[in-house]
Amino acid sequence: MKLRQKIVISTLLLFMAVFTGANILTIENNCKLSFNRILQQARDEQESISSGIEQYVWAEGEKNGGDARYLNAVMEYLDSRVNTQGTALEILAEDRVLYSTLDFKQPVTVKANYIGRMAEYSRQEIDGKEYLILSSFFPLKDTQIRNLFFVDISGIYADRAQQYAFFLRLAAVTLLLLAAGLFLLTGRLTKTLRLLTASVRKIGEGNYRERIQIKAKDEAGELADSYNKMADAIESTVEELKRKNQEQQRFTDNFTHELRTPLTAVVGYADLLRSTSGDEEYVQELGECIFREGKRIERLSEVMMDLIFVRRHTFDMEPCDAGELLRQSVMAYEPAAAKAGLRLETELPEKPVMIFGKKELLLAMFGNLLDNAGKASDTGGRIWIRLREEGGFVTAEVEDEGRGIPEEEQSRIFESFYQVDKVRNRKNNGVGLGLSLCADIAGIHEAEIKLASRVGKGTLMTIRFPCYKEVTKAM
C-alpha cells in the first residue's frame, strides 16, 4: 500500500472514530437531558396533584363538617383539572381505583408496604409507546392514596432515532467530502515523494542529470533542494570518476606506447649488433643507439617512480623559504642553460618568503618547470624566474620566450605523457610526465598551477601558494 493511500485511509478511520464517538455522546446526552427535564416536570405535576387533592379534600371536609364525602371530593377535584396532553393519571385508595384517565391496562406493581411522597419512576413500553411512569403515596384521612402518573415519552426516542438517521447521512456525506479532499491534498503533499522516487529510479538507471523542480518554501521544498544538491554531488563524483578512469586508461596506453618504442629499438639494435661482425664503426653506432634508447627507458622509469611516489604517499610539511628553493633550483639548472645558450633572469625578494611544504618535492617541481622552459626555448632565449608575496599568497612564475603552446592543446598540458612537440621532446629525452608531476606536487601543497601561452611568444607557468602565516591561522 502506497503512502498516499495509507494517509487517506488512516485519516478517514481516525476521523470516523472521533466523529462517531462525539455524535453518539451528543445524541445520548441530549436524550438524557430531555428525559431528566420531563421527569422533573412529571414529578412537579404529580406532587401538585397530590397536594391539590389533600387541600381540596380538607377544605371540603371543613365545609361539610366531616369526612364522609372525601372520596367523592377526590374525584370532583380531579375532574376539575385540565389534563396535560400526553399524560394520564390513576388514583387508587388501597386497591380500589378512585380515578383514572388510562385507556390501557395499568401495568405497575408497587410494594404494598411502601410509604412516601417521593415518586419512584420506571420506563415501560405500553401498546407500542414509551411511557415514563411515576408512582408515589400520600396519606388522606386514614387511607394511603397511590398516585400513578403516566407521561408519553415516545417523542424523546423518536427524536433520538431521527438524530441517529441524520448523523448517518451526515457521516456519509462528510466521509465522501473528506475522502475527496484528502485525496487531492495528499496528492499535493506527496508530489515531492513521487518526483523523488521517479528521479531516484532514473539515477539508478544511469541518468545522473535528473533533478526535481519544486519551488515550495516548506519541508517539501527543502527536501527537493537537498536531493538536488545530493544529485549534483553524485553527478560530479561520477563525472570525476569517469574522467579519472579515462585519464588512467590514457596513462596506461601512453605508458605502454612510450615503453614499447625504445624497447623495440633496443631489441632491434641488439639483434643487428648480434649479427654484425668486423665493422667496428657500425658496431659503435649500434651501441650508441642501444645506449640512447636504454637511457630513455631509464628516464621513463625514474619519472614514473617519482609520479607513483607522489600520488601514493603523504608528506610531513614544514616551513620553507620559497625564494631559497628557487635559487637552489636556478643554480642546479645553470649548467644545462649555459650548454643550451639560454639566459636565466631572476626576480627574487631578499627577505625570506615562507610557505608550508616539502622541500624535496618543491625542488623537483621548480626543476621540472625550468627544464620544460629550457626545452621549449631556442638558443639565445631567456627564461625569467620571479617570486612575490601579495594578498596572503606567494606566487612563483617561470616564463620563457619559446615556441608556445597552441590554445586547443593547453587544456591537456598537465595530462601524463602528453607532449606538444613529440619529435622535439624525443630528441630532448622527454617523456611527457614533467608537468603532470608538477600538477600533483602543487595539489599536495594546496597550490594553484596555471598556464598562459601564445604560439611564437612563449609560455608563463604560475604557481600560487598560501602564505605560511595564513596556513598556520587556518590550522
The CATH code of domain 3-164 reads 3.30.450
Name the one residue in this structure whose C-alpha cell is 441530549.
Answer: 30
The per-residue DSSP string of 24-45 comes to: HHHHHHHHHHHHHHHHHHHHHH
Distance between CA atoms of residues 296 and 290, nearest Å: 10
Written as nine digits, the cell of 12 is 478517514
For residues 419 and 440, the answer to whether their CB atoms sit within 8 Å is no
In the three-class reduction of DSSP (H, G, I as helix; E, B as strand; rest coil), residue 86 is classed as coil
Written as nine digits, the cell of 36 is 431528566
Q: Are strands 143-152 and 129-140 parallel, antiparallel or unpaired?
A: antiparallel
pLDDT of residue 91: 87
Q: Are strands 343-347 and 382-390 parallel, antiparallel or unpaired?
A: parallel
16 by Cβ neighbours in 10 Å (0-12 / 13-18 / 19+) ranks as middle
Name the one residue in this structure whose C-alpha cell is 631567456.
Answer: 382
Distance between CA atoms of residues 127 and 104, nearest Å: 8
Name the one residue in this structure whose C-alpha cell is 380538607.
Answer: 58
The DSSP 8-state label assigned to residue 402 in this structure reads S
Distance between CA atoms of residues 34 and 155, nearest Å: 10
Domain with CATH 3.30.450 in the chain: 3-164
Domain with CATH 3.30.565.10 in the chain: 315-474
pLDDT of residue 120: 85
pLDDT of residue 216: 65
For residue 148, which of 183, 109, 181, 185 has the smallest C-alpha distance?
A: 109
Distance between CA atoms of residues 367 and 385, nearest Å: 11
For residue 416, which of 174, 221, 254 has the smallest C-alpha distance?
A: 254
For residues 102 and 88, the answer to whether their CB atoms sit within 8 Å is yes
pLDDT of residue 188: 74
Instruction: Classify domain 315-474 by CATH architecture.
Output: 2-Layer Sandwich (3.30)
* Residue-by-residue pLDDT tens, the chain, 475 positions: 677 788 888 888 998 899 899 999 999 999 999 999 999 999 888 888 888 888 887 777 666 555 556 677 778 888 877 677 778 888 888 778 888 888 877 665 544 444 456 778 888 888 888 899 998 888 877 778 888 889 999 999 999 999 999 999 999 999 899 888 888 888 777 777 777 777 777 777 777 677 777 666 766 677 777 777 888 888 888 888 887 777 666 666 555 655 666 677 777 777 777 777 667 777 777 777 777 777 767 666 665 566 566 566 666 788 999 999 999 999 988 988 998 899 999 999 989 999 988 888 888 888 888 988 898 888 889 999 999 998 889 999 999 988 888 887 777 777 655 555 543 444 444 444 567 778 888 888 889 989 888 888 899 999 999 987 654 454 4
For residue 364, which of 309, 417, 295 has the smallest C-alpha distance?
A: 309
